[in-house]
Homo-oligomer: A and B are copies of this chain.
């Protein structure tokens, strides 16, 4: 079992708009660098840096095919994580009526209950 510290590093690694897009594309299949360049607006060096970061974290990997680098997903948590992010959550969690310990308390300011 991977320690929680590593999972937090994983979260930090993926918490970036471009890197999420990269991972989202990779859940659909193998892609090479210039495929991403076509899809979203980012310079090639910047894209490489994001790919490199994801690889350093063991989240993705690639194989070499001629002058292409074909990237693919490696960390099994990614598809589930992407799917979770795409979920639709309408309702907020129910607020507690009062402090469970003191059974007292009001919300600050004009916040409604």
Contact = CB atoms under 8 A, between A and B. Distances in A.
A30 B99 contact: yes
Contact of A85 (B7, B85, B89): B7
B61 A105 contact: no
A99 B65 contact: yes
Interface size range on A against B: 35 or more
Which of A12, A35, A65, A86 is the most central at the interface, judged by chain B CB atoms within 10 Å of its CB? A65
Interface in A55-79: 61-66, 68, 70, 72-79
Contacts of A45: none
Nearest to A91: B76
A7 B89 CA distance: 11
B8 A100 contact: no
Contacts of A85: 4, 7, 11
Interface in A87-113: 87-89, 91-93, 95-96, 98-100, 102-109, 111, 113
A100 B11 contact: no
Given A74-B92, A96-B30, A103 B64 contact: yes
